[in-house]
Amino acid sequence: MTDQKTNPESPDDAGSPVEDLDVTVVRAPEAAPHETSTLDMETQAYDFSTDAADAPGSPAEAVPASVDHDAADTVADVEPQVAPVEPSPSPDEPATVEASEGHIPPQYGIGPFSLREISLLGVWVLAFLFSFFPLYADNQYTSLLGGTSVWTSGIDWVLAIGAPTVAVFLITLRRFSPDGIRRVGSLGIDQFASVAFAVSAVVWLSWLWTNIARGVAVGVWLSSWVVWVEVLLMAAGVVLTVLAPFIPPFHEDFLHRTETLSHRVARRARPVVARPISDARYTMAAPSVDPDPAPYGDPIDDDEPAPAAASAQQAFWALAPVERDVVDESGAPVFRIGPTAWALVIEDRGDSFVVRHEDGRIGYLTDVSGVTRG
């Protein structure tokens, strides 16, 4: 016969030894704290009481009332978890994306010099060193052709090696003194360097071309290896100055430079307009005409003083009574004057007038009868 006791507090309360396997002990499951918390979080997100009330015979009906009160107390104790909110940037501080759009990347080099400037400096050092070697292979032509090196060959050194030396010096000085010499005339430092190396390359190339032409013609090769090497070095200088803005990575030396106003000599030429035709000696206002002028050549009343005679060279206005031709020295008509417009007479020769047209043409009016003076 088996005895069953429901929910004893402990196995000892049954009064039977532990070895008695016929006794069945049933305990109510204890809810773990973390399970209750999980249940509470799910209860906040969704209300299961509605589904429990609608579903008949659901497990929710068998839950004791004490468990509901304990779960409610636990829900009240649990604080809601709020997702962290990133602070919004201040309107006074610009965004990182906007700041990166106008950011100028740094230019890396060797010391204070860029890669292009270091390369150009190395080319010049070699060219300056080789310029002290003899220009001619045979010493017997040295005294005849001017000297042992380019420095002793008259003033050829000015364009051959002197101008590139000045250009490299200015490029070096610009790095150590940015506010120092910034122009050579109307040319910037880099523009002057381009011109200097280009002219030097042409000078060395002309010597090389003369040597090749002479050698092909007469079989005599006078120039030494120095001319060949200098041509190659100056050609490299042209690449590092004239063509550098188009060759990476040397073109980085010309990017993101500060914009400045060009020298007035380097700016665009002013437009030129034609000067208007005018002669101050013959410019005067149109005269006022008496509506009833006296006939030309009438005798002057003796009681009134005679006006002073006008000088023959004084210009005056004249109005012809009819259309008349103004001719040149050969008698060919040049233009016509008439009663509709005043004509400017620049010289009175008695029997003829020297008349100037408004467009500058000059002719002779041979018929001066009836002409009204202004």
Over the stretch 301-338, which tens digit does the pLDDT of each residue have? Answer: 544 444 444 444 688 999 998 999 999 888 888 898 98
Q: What is the pLDDT of residue 122?
A: 97
pLDDT exceeds cutoff 70 at 83: no
Is 329:294 a contact under the CB 8 Å cutoff?
no
**pLDDT level of residue 145 (50, 70, 90 thresholds):** low
Q: Which three-class secondary structure state does DSSP give residue 323? A: coil
Q: What is the pLDDT of residues 203-245, one digit of tens each?
A: 999 999 999 998 899 888 888 899 999 999 999 999 999 999 9
**Best CA proximity match to 339, nearest among 316, 318, 368, 314:** 318
Tell me the pTM: 0.47
Contacts of 357 (CB under 8 A, 6+ apart): 326, 334, 335, 343, 363
Q: What is the pLDDT of residue 168?
A: 97
pLDDT exceeds cutoff 70 at 176: yes
Rounded mean pLDDT of 111-140?
Answer: 90
Separate counts of helices (H) and strands (E) for the chain? 10, 9
User: Which residue did the predictor score with more confidence, 259 or 68?
Assistant: 259
**pLDDT level of residue 290 (50, 70, 90 thresholds):** low
DSSP 11: G
| Angle at which helices 115-130 and 225-241 cross, to 10° | 160
Q: What is the pLDDT of residue 223?
A: 86
Q: What is the pLDDT of residues 93-118, one digit of tens each?
A: 443 333 345 678 888 889 999 999 99
